[in-house]
Amino acid sequence: MLLRIQQELFDVGAECACPPGGIPEQMSIIGTEEGERLVTEMNSMLEDLEPLSSFILPTGSPSVAHLHIARTVVRRAEREACAMRDEVRPEVISYLNRLSDHCFVLGRWITAKMGDEESLWTPLGKRD
């Protein structure tokens, strides 16, 4: 799963490096299928998870912590892509949006599979 996502991110990077309207025919480009696949994978993982009752603090095993970092990096890339909306295809922006959600759900799923507990955020007035 992660190796495929890495491949797709290289496709996104290659496309974004091309001048507007200059994507070579032989180049792989991200379409709606890749974003839909991420949603399908998320839905499968969510079946194993309890619904959220609070925000989650970005903690956990090294793998999960790295997924939280990856999620924030992908969110940043999505913001940059949105700022370049005229030069970036909507499928790329949609893919990045779904990928950040995917990183979040995958981190939760790994936490559950490892038998660890998620660190939930507690509002200021309710903390010890």
Do the domain assignments include residue 5?
A: no
Cα distances (Å, whole numbers) of residue 18 to 11, 12, 27, 83? 11, 10, 10, 16
Do the domain assignments include residue 35?
A: no
Based on the structure, what is the number of domains in the chain? 1
State the Cα–Cα distance between residues 10 and 4, nearest whole angstrom: 10
pTM, rounded to two decimals: 0.89
Per-residue pLDDT reduced to its tens digit, 93-125: 999 999 999 999 999 999 999 999 999 999 998
For the chain, the helix, strand and coil percentages under 3-state DSSP, each to the nearest 5: 60, 0, 35
Per-residue pLDDT reduced to its tens digit, 3-18: 999 999 999 998 888 7
Domain, as residue range, for 96: 57-117
Cα distance from N-terminal residue to C-terminal residue, the chain: 40
Do the domain assignments include residue 74?
A: yes
